[in-house]
A and B are shown apart, each in its own frame.
Chain A
Amino acid sequence: MATVPESVARLLEVALVGDLTVVDATGRPITYPLIPLWDGEKVYLTSSTLFSRKLEHIKGDPRVSLSITDPVATGGRLDRATIQGDARIIDADPHGGWERLLPIWEKKEPSIVLFLKARVALPLFFERALIELTPRRVLYWSDGNAASVPAVTVVGEEAA
Chain B
Amino acid sequence: MRSTPELDARAGLDKLATYPFAVLTWVDDAGYPLSVAIEPTFESDRPAASFTAPAGLPVPTDREISLSGSHIRPQPGYGYDERRHVTVWGRASVVGERVTMTGGRAWGWDEAEVPFFEYSERSTGQSRKYFDALSRERGTPVKPRLSLGFLALRTTRLPFLTATIVPVVLGIAIAASHGSFDLATALLTVVGASLAQLAINVSNDVFDTAQGADDVNVTPTQFSGGSRVIQYGLVTFRQMATLGMALYLAAAVVGLALLAMRGSIELLVIGVVGFVVGLGYTAPPLKFVYRGLGEIAVAIGFGPLMLLGAYVVQTQGALRWEPFVASMPVALLVALILYVNEIPDRRADARAGKRTLPVRFSPATVVTGYRVAAATAYVVVALGVIAGILPMPTLLILLSIPLALRVSRGLLPNYDNPYGLMAVMGVNIKLHVVAGVTLIMAYAIVMLAAVLTPGVDLFLG
Contacts and interface: CB of A to CB of B under 8 A. Distances in A.
Interface stretch (B74-82, B400-408, B409-417): B74-82
The SS class assigned to the A binding surface is mixed
B26 A124 contact: no
The SS class assigned to the B binding surface is mixed
Nearest to A136: B32
A69 B37 contact: yes
Interface in B76-97: 77-80, 83, 85, 87, 89
Contact of A61 (B23, B31, B80, B130): B31
Contacts of B142: 94
Contact of B80 (A32, A67, A109): A109
A82 interface: yes
B120 A125 contact: yes
A122 B117 contact: yes
Interface in A16-31: 16-17, 19, 21-23, 27-31
B72 A16 contact: yes
A146 B55 contact: yes
Nearest to B120: A50
B387 to A, nearest CB: 46
A94 B128 CA distance: 13
B34 interface: yes
Contact of A19 (B28, B70, B74): B70
B145 A95 contact: yes
A111 B33 contact: no
A149 B72 contact: no
Given A17-B70, A136-B32, A52 B126 contact: yes
Given A70-B70, A150-B57, A53 B146 contact: no
Nearest to B63: A27
Interface string A101-129: 00000001111100000011111110100
Interface in A34-65: 48-53, 55-56, 61, 63-65
Interface in B348-403: none
Contacts of B130: 49, 52, 55-56
Given A31-B25, A122-B120, A127-B144, A111 B78 contact: yes
A64 B120 contact: no
B36 A31 contact: no
B27 A48 contact: no
Interface string B21-64: 10111111011111111100000000000001011110000011
A90 to B, nearest CB: 12
Given A121-B222, A124-B124, A146-B55, A29 B33 contact: yes
A158 B146 CA distance: 40
A49 B70 contact: no
Nearest to A23: B27
Given A27-B27, A29-B25, A72 B144 contact: no
Contacts of B36: 67, 82, 139, 141, 146, 150
B123 interface: yes
Interface in A122-160: 122-125, 127, 136-137, 139, 141, 144, 146-150
B236 interface: no
Contact of A119 (B30, B68, B146): B146
Sorted from nearest, which 8 A-B pairs have the closest CB atoms?
A109-B79, A21-B33, A149-B56, A146-B54, A67-B35, A120-B150, A65-B33, A50-B123
16 contacts: A16-B74, A19-B23, A28-B89, A29-B27, A31-B33, A31-B68, A31-B87, A55-B130, A63-B30, A63-B33, A70-B70, A73-B72, A73-B74, A91-B134, A119-B150, A150-B57
Interface of B: 21, 23-28, 30-38, 52, 54-57, 63-66, 68, 70-74, 77-80, 83, 85, 87, 89, 117, 120, 123-124, 126-127, 129-131, 133-134, 142, 144-146, 150, 153-154, 222, 232, 234
Given A63-B30, A148-B55, 9 more contacts: A17-B80, A21-B25, A27-B64, A49-B131, A56-B130, A65-B32, A109-B80, A123-B154, A124-B120
